[in-house]
A and B are shown apart, each in its own frame.
Chain A
Amino acid sequence: MEKIKELLAAHPFFKGLSDAQLNVLAGCGSNVHFKKGETIIKEGQDANNFYVIRKGVAALDIHGGHRGDIRIQTIEQGEIIGWSWLIPPHKWTFNAHAIEEVTATALDGACLRKKCEADHELGYELLKRFSTVLAKRLEWTRIQLLDIYGTS
């Protein structure tokens, strides 16, 4: 657990959390590894975890029917995958897989929700961080939708 706490402390997402808060989070964490091509999350399945990427690159895709899989974004070292563990009904809305070997720390969503309910200060700290990620990704998606390099 001490090792996971150190890994979380070194990740930009958790910058500024107290030692005690990191201890609590580490209690919900485990280290995971995904080989190139391996699925990390799958659309529609229970969002049991979120992933703190420590090494490698993952792609977020959505299946576009006859258009095949459409890549929405790539996520790499220093970033996170998944906020569906936080928002009901706790189901993944996208797919993610490793396009390079991925080393990550998985944080158990149910465990985290329980800890956040018990410790609102920790819950608020996490919510501020997830809101920042959400707002950034929304901004990026809006720019992508503008098709700024298109001719029309």
Chain B
Amino acid sequence: MSNNTLLETSIDPMIPQPFAVADIKEETHDTFTLILKPQNGQKELPFKPGQFNMLYVFGAGEVPISISGSPGEPQVTVHTIRSVGTVTKALRNLKAGDTVGLRGPFGSSWPVDKVKGKDVVIVTGGIGLAPLRPAIYEILRQRKQIGKFVLLYGARTPEDILYIDEIGKWRSQFDLQVRVTVDKADENWLGTVGVVTILIPKARFDPANTIAMICGPEIMMHFTVKELLQLGMKESDIFISMERNMKCAIGFCGHCQYGPNFICKDGAVFPYSHVKNLFRVREI
């Protein structure tokens, strides 16, 4: 895990920097990808897989959004967003050339520096694939140095599958096990139907020598962790991404407090061993 990279620079982490919308891509009926370029004279915005930015739509508000682009291409900042609230709907209405405010990158990162010599299992559901895409890019970049690489993805319906073309491309790679399942489908869908956890026993990897990265709704992560532990994985080798209401993004305001942690500063990515006593506690 890492600390906030922004705090290591001279940029005031509370002041949004202007970024121009370079492109907007429709992903599914309720998700889109926003491609941003800096307007403040910065050439690029380096980040680590798993980190997030605060995106500010002038007059509407600010939201935390995970970075979903490639760490190898920091000259563009990519965010895949689900259009569900006031600010995300305002983001959806932006056009190429419009300006947004951006603070970041913030937060911890996926353990892509710990995967050498190990198998890697990524289990994700819904929009949870977006925060993991930078990690997938990074792992693919160091593919020869890792063992088996498994990507298990669950979506609500076939129409909700994110990055469908890219998944197809990954699927065609002989050294990557990619399985996709949907919760609901009609008779025209010829793929797997069922929750994402059903894919875990079907994947081939060595639980004793695996790093797992999980991102999705909390209940999905709960059952995924349970399944991985049953296979014999260590709690410290399982990483999850927690979600709470983040406002300041630098651990001052307390909105995202999670027991002794602040999700924005100490997370959002945590080793399961670090948060297991908080995980699924109703009051937190």
Asked if A72 is an interface residue, CB under 8 A from chain B, the answer is yes
A76 to B190, CA, bound (A): 12
Contact: B187 with A61, CB < 8 Å? Answer: yes
The answer to whether A149 and B183 touch (CB under 8 A), given A72-B193, A139-B223, is: yes
Contact: B193 with A73, CB < 8 Å? Answer: yes
The answer to whether A74 and B193 touch (CB under 8 A), given A143-B220, A147-B183, A148-B217, is: yes
Q: Mark A140-152, 1 if CB is under 8 A from B, else 0.
A: 1001101111110
Contact: A71 with B202, CB < 8 Å? Answer: no
Which of A57, A68, A143, A150 gathers most chain B CB within 10 Å? A143
Select A148's contact among B30, B181, B194, B219, beta carbons within 8 Å.
B219
The answer to whether A146 and B202 touch (CB under 8 A), given A71-B186, A71-B189, A140-B197, is: no
Asked if B90 is an interface residue, CB under 8 A from chain A, the answer is no
- A139, chain B: closest CB distance, angstroms: 7
Q: Report chain A residues within 8 Å CB of B202.
A: 76, 78
Asked if B195 is an interface residue, CB under 8 A from chain A, the answer is yes
Asked if A134 is an interface residue, CB under 8 A from chain B, the answer is no
Asked if A116 is an interface residue, CB under 8 A from chain B, the answer is no
Select B185's contact among A57, A71, A143, beta carbons within 8 Å.
A71
Interface of B is mostly: mixed
Q: Report chain A residues within 8 Å CB of B30.
A: 151
Q: Number of A residues whose C-beta is below 8 Å from B? A: 24
Contact: B192 with A144, CB < 8 Å? Answer: no
Asked if B18 is an interface residue, CB under 8 A from chain A, the answer is no
Contact: B187 with A144, CB < 8 Å? Answer: no
Q: Report chain B residues within 8 Å CB of A43.
A: none
Which of A59, A69, A148, A150 gathers most chain B CB within 10 Å? A148
Contact: B220 with A74, CB < 8 Å? Answer: no
A100 to B191, CA, bound (A): 10
Asked if B155 is an interface residue, CB under 8 A from chain A, the answer is yes
Q: Report chain B residues within 8 Å CB of A151.
A: 30, 82, 84
Asked if A17 is an interface residue, CB under 8 A from chain B, the answer is no
Asked if A110 is an interface residue, CB under 8 A from chain B, the answer is no
The answer to whether A144 and B186 touch (CB under 8 A), given A74-B194, A149-B125, A149-B126, is: no
Contact: A149 with B217, CB < 8 Å? Answer: yes
Asked if A99 is an interface residue, CB under 8 A from chain B, the answer is yes
Contact: B84 with A99, CB < 8 Å? Answer: no
The answer to whether A143 and B156 touch (CB under 8 A), given A74-B194, A148-B125, is: no
* Other 16 A-B pairs with CB < 8 A, given A99-B190, A148-B125: A71-B189, A72-B193, A73-B194, A74-B193, A78-B201, A78-B202, A100-B190, A144-B194, A144-B195, A146-B219, A148-B217, A148-B219, A149-B127, A149-B160, A149-B183, A149-B216
27 A-B interface contacts by CB (under 8 A): A59-B187, A68-B187, A69-B186, A70-B184, A71-B184, A71-B185, A71-B187, A72-B193, A73-B194, A76-B202, A99-B190, A100-B190, A140-B198, A143-B197, A143-B219, A143-B220, A144-B183, A144-B184, A144-B195, A146-B219, A147-B156, A148-B125, A148-B183, A148-B217, A148-B219, A149-B154, A151-B30
